[in-house]
A and B are shown apart, each in its own frame.
Chain A
Amino acid sequence: MRMIRGMRGSGALAAFLTALVAVGAASAHHSFAMFDTTKQVTVEGVVKQFTWSNPHVWLDVTVMDDKGQSQQWGLESLAVGLLYRAGWNADSLKPGDKVTVLLHPMRDGTLGGQLMKVTFPDGRALYSGNARP
C-alpha cells in the first residue's frame, strides 16, 4: 500500500467543492471548517470500519506508509440519506475491502479528513453526497 499526497483534480472541481462547503450546503449538521477544502489527498488502504449512521457516515481506513508503518485514517462523510440517494447503502463497504480514498485533509494535520470519493480495485467509484463531479 502506498500513500500519495498533494493537490489533485481539476481546478473547476476543487472550486465547485469549495463553494458547496462555503454555503453550508454539504452539511446541515455542523461546520466543516476543520477540513482544508483547498487540498485534496489520496490514500490507498484497507477498510477497518464502515459506520452507516447519522448524522454522518464514517469510514476508517488502515493505510501503510512508505516505511511500512500502519496508520489509521478517520474519514467523515455526509448523512445516510444523501449517500443513499448517491448510490451508497449500508453494505457498500466492508472491513477488509481494498479502497482508494480521495479526501480533504484535516487542517491540524490529524490523519483523516472529509471523504470525497471511494474507488474500488475494479474502478467502481462512490462519491460522497454532493461531491459527484
Chain B
Amino acid sequence: MRRLGAIGAALTYALMGGGASAAEQHPNFSGTYLQRSAGAATASGYQLTPEGQAAFDRNKAGIAASDPNIDTALRCEPQGIPRMLSPGPLPFVVLQTPAMVGVVSEAFAQPRLIFLGNEHRKDYWPTYMGDAIAHWEGDTLAIDTVNFVPTTFLDMRGLPHSDALHVSERMQLIEGGKTLQDQVTIDDKKFFKAPWTVTYQYARREDIKIVETVCLNTRTRP
C-alpha cells in the first residue's frame, strides 16, 4: 500500500507540476525518533583551512578546560544546527504541517522550524538554528539553512564553523517509514577547503514520549 501510495504521490506531483497544492501528498515525517548512527562524531573526509584548524585547536583547548566561553553549551546555550542533528541517545519529535516542519529535541529542548518556501528572511540576524527554508523534491525535503551564530560547534569535539556556514539537507523516510534519513552537507568556505557531507539516520520510536529538558545546571565537573 505504501509503495502504491508513493507512486500515486509521485504521479500527482508530476501531473501538478510539483506545485504547492500537492502538499498533502508529501511524506509525513511527523513522529518521534532516536538517532541510529554516531554521525559527525565519526565523520571524516573534511579538510580544514588553516583558519579553520586554528579555530578547531582553540575549541579543543576550551573543551579540555571546560571553558563556557568556548563551549557555550556548558552554560546551556543551544547547540544549534547542525550539532543538534546528532543528539546521540536523546530523542526528538518532528511535527509537520503543509507550511513548515518543526523539530523539538529533548537535547536542550531545542525548537527548530523549517519553513516551506524559496526565500530566506530579509534583515534576519544570526541565530543558533539559522534561517531554514525548504522545498519538496519528490519524497525528499531539501532544506537550506544559513545565518548562524559563529560560536556553536559542528559536533561535540568542537569542530568549528564560521559565519559563512551554509547547511544543505536532504531529508527522507526510508525502510518503509521506519527510518528518517538526513543527508547533511556542510559548506563553509572560510573554515573548510571543500563542502563535505555526513548522513544521519534516526529510528522511528513511537514508544518514547520525550520529556521537558530545560538546561539549567551549568556544573561541568566534580
A interface residue numbers (CB < 8 A to B): 23-31, 33-34, 51, 53-56, 58, 73-76, 78-82, 84-85, 106, 110-113, 129-130
Contacts and interface: CB of A to CB of B under 8 A. Distances in A.
Nearest to B88: A28
B12 interface: no
Contact of B108 (A30, A55, A58): A55
B207 to A, nearest CB: 10
Given A54-B108, A75-B222, A81-B91, 12 more contacts: A24-B38, A24-B88, A28-B156, A51-B217, A54-B215, A76-B219, A78-B89, A82-B89, A110-B221, A112-B222, A129-B89, A130-B89
Interface in B114-146: none
Interface stretch (B70-78, B164-172, B194-202): B70-78
The SS class assigned to the B binding surface is loop
Nearest to A72: B222
Nearest to A105: B222
Contacts of B73: 29-30, 55
Contact of A28 (B42, B107, B221): B107
A23 to B, nearest CB: 4
A31 B74 CA distance: 11
Contacts of A33: 64
A43 to B, nearest CB: 12
Contacts of A28: 79, 86-90, 107, 156
A79 B213 contact: yes
Contacts of B193: none
A49 to B, nearest CB: 11
24 contacts: A24-B38, A27-B88, A28-B88, A29-B156, A30-B66, A31-B156, A34-B221, A51-B219, A54-B213, A55-B108, A56-B219, A58-B217, A58-B219, A74-B221, A75-B222, A76-B219, A80-B211, A82-B90, A84-B211, A85-B208, A106-B222, A110-B221, A110-B222, A111-B222
Contacts of A129: 89
B150 to A, nearest CB: 19
Q: Which of A25, A28, A111 has most chain B Cβ within 10 Å?
A: A28
A3 B216 CA distance: 32
Interface in B179-221: 208, 210-211, 213-217, 219-221
A79 B107 contact: yes
Nearest to B214: A54
Nearest to A58: B219
A78 B86 CA distance: 16
Contacts of B88: 24-28
Contacts of B71: 30
Contacts of A74: 221-222
Contacts of B157: 31
Contacts of A110: 221-222
B41 interface: yes
